[in-house]
Amino acid sequence: MKRLNGVLIALLLAGCATQLPPSGQPPLRTAQQHAETPPLPLFNTTLFASHPAVVSPRQLFTLSAAQQSAFLADFNGRLAHLPAHQRIADYLHGVTFGFNYKEQTYTASEALDFQAGNCMALAIVTKSLADLAGVELKFQRVRNAPVYDRAENVVMVSDHVRARLYLPGERLSWVTVDYFPSRESSNAGLITEQQFLALYYRNRAAELMLAGEQSAAFANAQEALKYQQNDASTLNIIALLHRRAGDDSTAEALFAYALAQNKSNLNVLYNYLDLAKKQNQGELVRQLQQKISSLPDYNPYTWIALAETAVHQGELSRALQMYEKAAYYAPYLHEIYWGQARVYLAMGRPVTAKRVLLDGLEQAKRSATKKSFKSGWYSFTNPQTQKKPH
């Protein structure tokens, strides 16, 4: 996979779904704004292979014959005494008991076969069962603290999607199917199936891009735009794909267009800034930096990058302050505690460094969004020569 210089705040992915605007809908635009918006720049399709396979909505929600039979046997048998929506919830509780939370957006049949998947995969499985049983289902985007992760030089921002199953004939009685029914979560509103499919294809585009499958990523991003036109986050992924393929000109046009759709999208702003710096566009860099500085930045990797810079400059106390900022927004991130420990070692405080690593390990274990932790980040076997884990 081609690497880009700098950190690119790109995506979604990790846990569940890329972030939508707070309402779950793109911001409303006036007639004047529509008139002022330039046309969508043409994609450089010659950079990508033609017609890679894209999962259809029907394939996404279809279970195998064996999976259908197993569900219907329980639905019409041992669970028949329960209301229909509760039967599905109870069935899922049983079949997903051994599920491995994995940051991967599987289809319904894949999730059950692999006994794994993210929260979106669980919602997909839930819909497939609801369709079989004729139970009403709605998707819900949950507003809680976004989850951040980093793979290579790409920062991924995850949001949370889950499913509601309704009591037949009732609109005010439902059960929620969710990996993490956190008390800190709050309802950010229901989303339509169209919006859910846009999130799915955007998720897949991000996953495939990180896997180095650029043409498949491009195809999925294009599919996402069919369900949510001019979505800034999807256009951001397409722009990144053009950059990775060496077409900075089209990438720049796409970043500018995406900002016209959503002027406060930090993902687009950071990526556009990275490109503007590379092209030595001083005035554009100034404008983008000014815009970024006017927005609240909850991205912990911003503070981690500042901490790492402070370490290189020998400003150890400032580095600790930056790591504390990052920990405030994302206490589950391994890099924070590893970085703090290295700073304390440089200060000649190995006991404090070891305590920080132990605290970080406990935070990772407790985190509702990190079902597994990378123990390599918390080892203290040879701290003076320890290299950064992966």
Contacts of 199 (CB under 8 A, 6+ apart): 17, 18, 20, 120, 161, 191, 224
Joined tokens for residue 13? 């992915």
Beta strand 154-166 with 174-177: parallel, antiparallel or unpaired? antiparallel
Report yes or no: 157 and 15 within 8 Å, Cβ to Cβ.
Answer: no
Identify the CA nearest to 135 among candidates 97, 79, 179.
Answer: 79
Give me the pLDDT at residue 133, please: 96
Phi/psi at 239 (nearest 5 deg)? -65, -45
Residue whose tokens read 């030089």: 153
pLDDT at residue number 15: 42
Domain ranges of the chain: 8-290, 300-378
Pairing of strands 174-177, 137-151: unpaired
Which strand (E) or helix (H) includes residue 27?
A: none
Q: Which amino acid, 84?
A: A
Rg (C-alpha) for the chain, rounded Å, is: 22
What is the reported pTM?
A: 0.76
Instruction: Decide whether 8-290 matches 300-378 in CATH topology.
Output: yes
In this predicted structure, what is the pLDDT of residue 121? 92
Q: Residue 185 has what pLDDT? A: 52
Give, in words, the CATH class of 300-378.
Answer: mainly alpha
Residue where the block lists tokens 């603290």: 145
228: left (phi over 0), alpha (psi -120 to 50) or beta: beta
Q: What is the DSSP secondary-structure string of 203-234?
A: HHHHHHHHTT-HHHHHHHHHHHHHHSTT-HHH
Which CATH number describes the domain made up of 8-290?
1.25.40.10
The Cα–Cα gap between 380 and 386 comes to 8
Q: Tell me, what's the pLDDT at 332?
A: 80
Residue 171 DSSP code:
S
**8-11/154-166 β-pairing:** parallel
Which parts of the chain register pLDDT below 70?
A: 1-37, 143-159, 180-188, 364-390
Which pLDDT value is given to residue 159? Answer: 65
Question: At a CB cut-off of 8 Å and minimum separation 6, what does 83 contact?
Answer: 167, 168
**CA-angle at 189, arms to 187 and 193, nearest 5°:** 130
For the stretch 286-308, pLDDT in tens is 999 888 878 777 778 878 888 88
What is the number of helices (H) and of strands (E) in the chain?
16, 7
pLDDT at 166: 95
- Tell whether the torsion through CA atoms of 237, 57, 186 and 327 is positive or negative: negative
